[in-house]
Structure 1
């Protein structure tokens, strides 16, 4: 709705104009504010600046230049690690996969304990298919973990367990 001069009654326009009053502040407030800030500024010590003497600045510059020269020399930086020999790969994978599998077992025990803590109350029928689907997904992830030992799958298993527990908590509240 557009409220211009033509749509407002003249009596209303005059009353609105009478409400407007421009007033100046009774006094300039800034001198009082500045006076109150002055003692605080004087009480706070100014931050100290460290003055570099000519010798200290020169020594720092030389140390920086020497470090740059040494870093740029060929062979001074550590090279990328050598690739694993084919014979070492299965042992490393077994150790790595063993750690991931141990973490998955620990996570499963924690998950079972959380489910026991929630109790054995009946689950709402609408939630049953969702919980069964999450259980199927967890079983598939566990099988894939046994085969690959992938840490990414371990994270997916954790998220799946967390979702199921959260749904159970919401159902019981």
Structure 2
């Protein structure tokens, strides 16, 4: 990303956090407090090596933005397993939920994880209360590993760790 694309990224991220605050490990207040330099760094990370980002846009949508999925190489790697990638920053705008857009973005993400990042395993974390996401990922071949991690913004809550072989 170059130029002022960080402005668009900031607007999209703030919308994402306001709409689905438990889907991310960042609060809206924290995101709003970030400086221009921090947003520029985040925008640059979207196209960094070891990262693939898919953005869906539609000129008929209010701000043109429909959805986002990002796949990154996981660090650290578990050396006893195939190369791992993580699915992060998943979002579909409310007007496009149920349209099949999430499945299309996921298909592109799975393909990129395998072909561009060389991963054999795709992992993700889902907030325990996000039943819609849990059902979606299960329908698309992810399995619950049984691992639970404390949710960063509320350690009393858990993230379910899911994965899919590629």
TM-score bucket (shorter structure): under 0.3
- Which has the higher Rg, Structure 1 or Structure 2? 1
Larger strand percent: 2
Larger helix percent: 1
TM-score normalised over the length of structure 2: 0.19
- RCO greater where, 1 or 2, for CA within 8 Å and sep 6 or more? 1
